[in-house]
Structure 1
Amino acid sequence: MSFLALAAISKSFGPNQVVKDFNLSVGKGEFVSFLGPSGCGKTTVLRMVAGFETPSAGTIRIDGQDVTRLPANKRRIGMVFQAYALFPNMSVSQNVAFGLKVAGADRATISRRVGEMLELIKLDHLGERFPYQLSGGQQQRVALARALAPKPNLLLLDEPLSALDAQIRVSLRDDIRAIQRELGITTIFVTHDQEEALSISDRVVVMHQGRADQLGTPAEIYNRPATRFVANFVGKLNTFEARIADADEGQLNFAGKDFTAPTPLRGLRSGDPITVALRPEALALHRRHDDEASLQGKVLDFNFLGSVIRAKVEVDGRPICLDMFNQSGFTMPPVGTATELYFSRSDLLVLPE
């Protein structure tokens, strides 16, 4: 049974419909990310769950209760914002205690819970400091502790890491996931960063123009994109314009060669144009044991990225990328060298129109 259920949610601001027929079921203790570009509706959905916006249509249920019209302060939700939103005139401990005081908790309960939260976020030695005396990462930890202190049923995080530098962002996202697992709290995380969403989520909702284009595990989203938008938005992609050579036999043609599609070409006819794609890491300069297909190309360039080497190869008159692990002893072919790019047929993506 789902803990959070959104059924046919829509939201309009005047004539502008920003969320369209959005459906989602989240299990208790699950970590789900909303991923998409700015303006796709992900924050609006989050605000409707929080009670800050009222849906134009549809229903929201939390733990079986219809909360569609319930005020935000009655929903037992913890919220963490991008801009921290800490009270500057309160110490760290006072900020964490705020929600408990509003709820009418007694002094002993507040003191105990604040201590637990500060220990959880590893800032128990900074309880008397004020927000301006903390780093951005520390301030966001305090905001997280404040949201969790009243023991909410649901934790909502609206781009909580986007204001932080890259190294702190990686560290804090891992901490958020570890805390979420430890507490077992159902969590919705909004981000435009695909690496964040894929690295810490149980499932990811990829949103586009107010709709959920695809819902799945990180591996499903990346390896088997359901729409052209998802394929292009999540990860890097090499695309090829192709045509169906034989629809019944699953044969398609691109880059001057015939290939067998990895899945049946339902709804397509011989001669139809189509787009196919390959992830950079699906390609290799040397044949691997499961590679049964290849493309001819010419080496254009190499970029050394530390653990990964990214090669640019011209195939059928256009540049494509392939990624390979940096291994000792690997010798890069000289620029201009003719080469073969190998791949497995199962890695070939046939993108829906």
Structure 2
Amino acid sequence: MSYLELSHVQKSFGIVKVVHDFNMSIEEGEFVSFLGPSGCGKTTVLRMIAGFESVTGGTITIGGINQNGLKPNKRNIGMVFQAYALFPNMTVAENVAFGLKVAGASKAEIEDRVKEMLALISLGHLADRYPYQMSGGQQQRVALARALANKPKVLLLDEPLSALDAKIRVSLREEIRAIQRKLGITTIFVTHDQEEALSISDRIVVMNAGIADQIGTPSDIYNRPSTRFVAGFVGTLNILEAKVENRAAGTVRLGSRSVNIPPSHLNGSGDGAAITVALRPEALSLSRSPSSDVALDGRVTSVNFLGSVIRTRMDVEGQQISFDMFNNPGLQPPQIGEMATAHFKASDVLVIPN
């Protein structure tokens, strides 16, 4: 049995159902991210695990123990919030010690554990400071140390980085992941940021309107989206309309071009069926490689400089596609209005379920 089990979990507020039949098994020590837009139900699931919201239907178990009837303080769960939630009248050390004092730990135990936690987050030198004397990133580190001080079974993080600037977010998410690996604690991380989820997770749950649309590794979620929502939400995709010419051969028609893709990609669509296909921008290139077996001609409509990458958009028989190329100061990017040819491998074509 998995360490954390969510079985047919549902949540309704009055007549509004916000979580529908949510099922997931999480292994001990696993780092799982709940990814989705605002209002999709990801924080509600997190709050049900913590005990801040009651379960309308289904069960939540941790280590084989049903959590449904337990109060939050009886679940031994650590939680880090978006808004730090530090006590402003307490020092860093006192904030970290708070949960230990409530639990009745001895003075010696508290001192040792606080030192250990502050060393873990590299803030031992700031033990006597107050929250207002610290940066946002430092405050969030303290909130993390406080959540871990009581040695919880599960760590829950509810968009803990969203209030921080971009550079601090990247460094702190890497630090959180390193600490999680070191402690081996089962962790659920809620975010709406795709890059965050893809970069630090063992598995990702992509949520949409209260439903887990897809659960998988970052590679599965990005490279093999199983629903139209996941395909559109995670990363950037070129969406193209096509028609199946020969299912057995895997031949589809993109505009005036016939393209052979692996027949298994067609998901059972028969001859003549209208389908939606997709390509990641990085799968296309202006340069033809030995493995590139498809070429599409079009007129360049925009060129966007994104630092290390230049994203070019072109019109192909009325359909828009984008492709990425690395920024090379020695090469002239395509110009708006020019004709260009984009090359790609047929195996990179995704068929999106309708």
TM-score w.r.t. structure 2 length?
A: 0.97
What do residues 7-66 of structure 1 show as CA deviations (whole Å, max 9, x unaligned)?
A: 111111111010001001111110000000011000000001101111111111101111
Q: Distance in 2 between matches of 1:157 and 1:235?
A: 23
* Partner Cα separation in structure 2 for residue 207 and residue 49 of structure 1: 16
Moved over 4 A (4+): none
Structure-2 residue corresponding to 1:282: 283
Contact 1:285 1:342 in 2 (8 A): yes
What is the CA-CA distance between 1:349 and the residue it aligns to? 0.7
Superposed CA offset, 1:84-106 (max 9, x none): 10011111000000010011000
SS at match of 1:84: coil
In the other structure, the counterpart of 1:105 is 105
Q: Which residue of 2 aligns with 1:322?
A: 323
Structure 2: where are the runs of 5+ without partners? none
Q: State the match for 2:222 in structure 1.
A: 222
Contact 1:238 1:277 survives alignment (8 Å): yes
State whether residues 255 and 295 of structure 1, in contact with CA within 8 Å, keep that contact through their aligned partners in structure 2.
Answer: no
Write the distance in 2 (CA, Å) between the matches of 1:305 and 1:2. 43
Task: State yes or no: 1:138 paired with 2:133.
Answer: no
Alpha-carbon distance between aligned partners in 2 of 1:49 and 1:42, rounded to the nearest angstrom:
11
Structure 1 residues 29 and 10, CA gap change in structure 2 (3 angstroms): same
Q: Which residue in 2 is equivalent to 1:208?
A: 208
Amino acid at match of 2:24: L
Alpha-carbon spacing, 1:266–1:191, altered in 2? closer, same or farther (3 Å): closer
The aligned residue for residue 71 of structure 1 is 71
Distance 2:320 2:294 in 1: 19
For these two proteins, the number of residue pairs brought into alignment is: 353
Offset, 1:328: 4.7
Q: Which amino acid aligns with 2:86?
A: L
- What letter is aligned with 2:7? A
> Which residue identity lines up with residue 350 of structure 1 in the other structure?
V
Match of 1:271 in 2: 272
> Amino acid of the residue matched to residue 214 of structure 1?
Q
Residue identity in the other structure for 1:141? R
Q: Is 2:240–2:319's contact at 8 Å kept on the other side of the alignment?
A: no
Mean CA deviation greater in 273-282 or 242-251:
242-251
Who is 1:11 aligned against?
11
Matches within 5 A, 1:183-262: 183-262=183-262
- Gapped regions of structure 1 (runs ≥ 5): none
Tell me, what secondary structure is at the counterpart of 2:126? coil
Separation of aligned partners in 2, 1:45 and 1:334? 48
1:331 alignment counterpart: 332
RMSD across aligned positions (CA): 1.1
Three-state SS of the structure 2 residue aligned to 1:85 is: coil
Question: Counterpart in 2 of 1:126?
Answer: 126
Relative to structure 1, is the Cα distance of residues 351 and 119 closer, same or farther in structure 2, using a 3 angstrom cutoff?
A: same
Identity %: 63
- The one-letter amino acid paired with 2:12 is S
Distance in 2 between residues matched to 1:283 and 1:110, nearest whole Å: 57
Shift of 1:345: 1.1
Which residue in 1 is equivalent to 2:169?
Answer: 169
